[in-house]
Amino acid sequence: MDRGLREYLAKRLLLIVPTLIGVTLLVFAVTQLFSPVERAALYIRDPRQIRFVNEIISKYGLDQPFYIQYVSWITQVLQGNLGWSQSIHQPVLETLLSRFPATAELAIFAAPITIFLGIYLGKLSAVKKDTFVDHATRALAVVGWSLPSFWLGIMLLAFFYGGLGMFSPGRLSPWAEVLVRSGSFKVYTGFYTVDAVLNLNGAVLLDALSHLVLPVATLTIINMALIMRVMRSSMLEQLGKTYITAARARGLDEKTVINKHATKNALIPVVTLSGLLTAGMLSGVVITETIFEFKGVGYFAARAATQLDVPAVLGFALLAGIIFVIANLIVDLLYAYIDPRIRLG
């Protein structure tokens, strides 16, 4: 690693501290809308503690000025105490952790497909500018961008599940659910597809995959649009630059010019977007998980929100904020690696 990159890395890592403080401050600010008694729910680990509300208020200083409260709250958060979720009857952190594999499994399938298709179609659209292919892909992009994800999900379910009896909602069919919960199936990762492979159970693998089809399709159609748009305009910008003309003048064939020269540079802005998109999927896709009853973090958060389960929603928001801060960090580091102008400039 050269010196420039190392210096940049140190600077960027330092910057994460104030951002994380800000993110936690914002979540904490929301709690200040409530009375001390309501806020006490954020510090409870067990519903039996409700009898000692006054002790909790004085212990964590819930009637004290906000900076004292913030310190005592953040201490609790750092110790992994995010409060008690009323809607799910579990500590918030435990719920988030136990539901995370479902969300991550969805993201692991949806993000690469979305990114790959978005880049491919965006590039195609730019290379074939003003042809039928370009118009068709652009129309596809604006439609995907305008489609309400919950409506698309409902339409897909109505057609495939209601009409054709395929792709039922949930993560597994009832028989597979029973099997996975029985002792004979060992849960290694919580990703049902991976676990099915490790258990050498083809039937469960197929079942898990078939339950992923519709949610992954919904996420792909909705999110691909943005990547396509950015890739197209970035590619067009690169294709208009003089180094491309120079490459063509040197007699390089068009394929090399597009793939080796233009695409590489055009990908730079797509990196940020892809990183944030993946982070968004990892932090829980509330709508998609709700429609397909895909019981991940987002499904849990939506349920908690309708039941006004404040600690659960705030815990979820905090998790999303932290995932985004980390994703931003990774994206910036990737940038510095790809684009020397950033670390040297």
Partner 1 sequence: MTHTVVNIKFWDKQSPRMKELRFILKRMKSSPLSIVGLAIVVFFTLVALLAPVLAPPQPNRNPYMIPRYGYSPTPKPPNPVNLFGTTEGQYDLYYGMIWGTRAAYQIGVLVVAISALIGIIVGGLAGYYKGVFGEVLMRVTDIVLAFPGLILAMAFVVAFGPGLNSITVALILVWWPSYARLVRGEFLRVTAEDFVEAAKAIGCSDLRVMVKHVFPNTIFPLVIMASLDIGSVVLTAAALSFLGLGAPEGYADWGQLISLSRNYITGAPGNPFAYWFAYVIPGIFLFLFVLGWNLLGDAFRDILDPMIRRR
310 binds partner 1 (CB under 8 A): yes
At 276, which amino acid appears?
A: L
223 binds partner 1 (CB under 8 A): no
230 binds partner 1 (CB under 8 A): no
Residue closer to partner 1 (CB basis): 32 or 58: 32
26 binds partner 1 (CB under 8 A): yes
Query: Tokens representing 190?
Result: 């919580």
Q: CA-to-CA distance for 304 and 311, rounded, in angstroms? A: 9
Please, what is the minimum distance in Å from the beta carbon of residue 150 to partner 1? 5
Query: Tokens representing 234?
Result: 């970035």
Q: CA-to-CA distance for 232 and 228, rounded, in angstroms? A: 6
Please, what is the minimum distance in Å from the beta carbon of residue 211 to partner 1? 16
Please, what is the minimum distance in Å from the beta carbon of residue 282 to partner 1? 10
Residue closer to partner 1 (CB basis): 116 or 150: 150
Among 74, 108, 117, 147, binds partner 1 (CB under 8 A): 147
Residue 212 to residues 176, 184, 191, 206: CA-CA distances in angstroms?
A: 14, 24, 12, 10
Radius of gyration over alpha carbons of the chain, in Å?
A: 24
301 binds partner 1 (CB under 8 A): yes
One DSSP character per residue, 20-35 reads: HHHHHHHHHHHHTTS-
Helices assigned H by DSSP within the chain: 3-31, 36-39, 53-59, 66-78, 92-127, 132-146, 149-156, 174-181, 192-198, 202-239, 242-249, 254-256, 263-282, 286-291, 297-306, 310-338, 340-344
One DSSP character per residue, 141-176 reads: HHHHHHS-HHHHHHHHIIIIIIIT--S-SSSS-HHH
Only one of the segments 62-70, 77-85, 250-258, 311-319 lies at the binding site for partner 1 (rule: CB under 8 A); that segment is 311-319
Spell out, one character per residue from 161 to 180, where the chain touches partner 1: x when CB under 8 A holds, - when not.
xxx-----------------
Among 5, 23, 140, 209, binds partner 1 (CB under 8 A): 23
Residue closer to partner 1 (CB basis): 199 or 274: 274
Tell me which residues touch partner 1 (CB under 8 A).
18-19, 22-23, 25-27, 30-31, 33-34, 138-139, 142-143, 145-151, 154-155, 157-158, 161-163, 280, 283-284, 286-287, 290-291, 301-302, 305-306, 308-310, 313-314, 316-317, 320-321, 324-325, 328
